[in-house]
Amino acid sequence: MSDYSFSNFRDFFEYNLKKNNRDSYGAKIFTLNDFSKKLGYRSPSLLSMIATGKRLPSTEILEVLFDEWKIDSNQREIVRIRLEIEKRIKKNKPTLGLVEKLSKIDKKSKYQTINLDAFNSIKDWHNLVLQMMVGTSSFIEDYTQLSYILRRKASPSQIRKGIESLLKIGMLKRNPKTGELEKNENEDSRETTHDIPSEAIREHHRGMINRALDAIDEQDVADRHLNSLTLKFNQDSKAEAKAFILNFVKEFNDKFHDNESSDIHQLNVQFFGHTQRSEKIIHDKEADQ
C-alpha cells in the first residue's frame, strides 16, 4: 500500500504501527509503551497524542519513525509534504504550492488531490464535471447546452459561474488566440479532499450523493451500478479500512479513466457507522445530566 494514500498523519501512523506489530501468527508483539522505549522516549504520551491525532510529529520524530518502519526515500518525501500540508491547514495557511510539489513527485499516478483553498472556490458538484468536460470532442461553451448535457441538474447561470470560478483559480484557461477554454493541467482525474472538516467539502459531497439518488430513478440499471454492504466492523480497523478504500479508488481511476471519452461518470464511496460505541453513549448521557 502506498503511504500517500493516507489523508492524515494519524492514519499513516496507525497503519504502520499495526503493520509492524504482528508476529507470524497475527499476535501483537509490543505495546505503545514498549515502542516508545524502543525509539528512545521514556513516556508513551508523545506517541499516544500522535496516535490519537492530538499532535503532529516533529521532524526528529518523523525521521525516527521512517527509519524504524523502513519507509523508502520517495515515500518519505511524500509523507513529509503531506504532513506539512496538514500542519498548514491547521494554521489556516495556503497549501497550493505544496500540493503542486506533491503532484510532481508522484509522477506515476494521474490522481490529484485538490487544494483546500481552491476547493472553497469550486465546491459546487458540477464545477469539477465541467472542468473534466473541457477538451472533449463534444464540448461547446454554450451554457444552455451544457445544462442540458448535465441533465438540467445545473442551470445555465450556475454553469457560467462555475466556469468563471475554474478560470479564476487556474484550473481552466483561455487560449490566447482562439479564446476557447482549455485545461491548465495535464491531469484529468480529480479526487475531492477528504477527512478535513470543511463545510465546502461537505456541500460538495452532498451534491454528489444527491446525483446518485437521482440516478436511481432517472438512469437505467445498465447505465449505473449502486450497491450497499452492511457489516459488523471493528472500529480499531478504521484507519486501515479507509486507506484500503482510498487505494481502491486510485486503482479504479488508473484502470478505467479514458482521456478519449466525452462521457463523465462519478464514483462515490460512502463508509459510515450505523451505530455508535457504547462509551460514547455513556459520555453523551453523562453530558445531558
CATH number of residue 103's parent domain: 1.10.260
pLDDT at 57: 94
Using an 8 Å Cβ cutoff, are 150 and 126 in contact? yes
* Cβ-based burial of 155 (10 A; exposed 0-12, middle 13-18, buried ≥19): middle
Same domain, yes or no: 251 and 129: yes
Q: Give the domain extent around 189.
A: 119-256
Q: Is residue 39 located within the same domain as residue 62?
A: yes
Any domain includes 262: no
Q: Is 48 a member of any domain? A: yes
The SS3 assignment for 182 reads strand
Instruction: Fill in the amino acid letter for 275.
Output: T
Residue 274: pLDDT above 50? yes
Strands (E), 143-185: 172-174, 181-183
At 12 the pLDDT is 86
Q: For the whole prediction, is pTM greater than 0.85?
A: no
Cell numbers describing residue 50: 500522535
Average pLDDT value for residue range 4-23 = 78
Which of 88-102, 135-149, 166-180 has the lowest average pLDDT? 88-102
Domain count, the chain: 2
Q: At what angle do helices 73-90 and 96-105 cross, to 10 degrees?
A: 170
Residue 269 has pLDDT above 80, yes or no: yes
Q: What is the pLDDT of residue 218?
A: 92
Query: pLDDT above 70 covers what percent of the chain?
Result: 79
* Residues pairing with 113 in the sheet: 191
Are residues 37 and 68 part of one domain? yes
Say yes or no: 21 and 98 in one domain. Answer: yes
Assess whether pLDDT exceeds 80 at residue 289.
Answer: no
Predicted pLDDT of residue 287: 52
Looking at 108, 142, 160, the residue that finishes a domain is 108
More confident residue, 110 or 20: 20
Mean pLDDT, the chain, as a whole number?
82
Query: Would you say residue 263 lies in a domain?
Result: no
Q: Is 285 exposed, middle or buried (0-12, 13-18, 19+ CB in 10 A)?
A: exposed
The answer to whether residues 104 and 124 belong to one domain is no
Judge whether 63 lies within some domain.
yes
102 or 46: which carries more pLDDT confidence?
A: 46
Q: 149 lies in a domain? A: yes
> Is residue 19 domain-shared with residue 99, that is, in the same domain?
yes
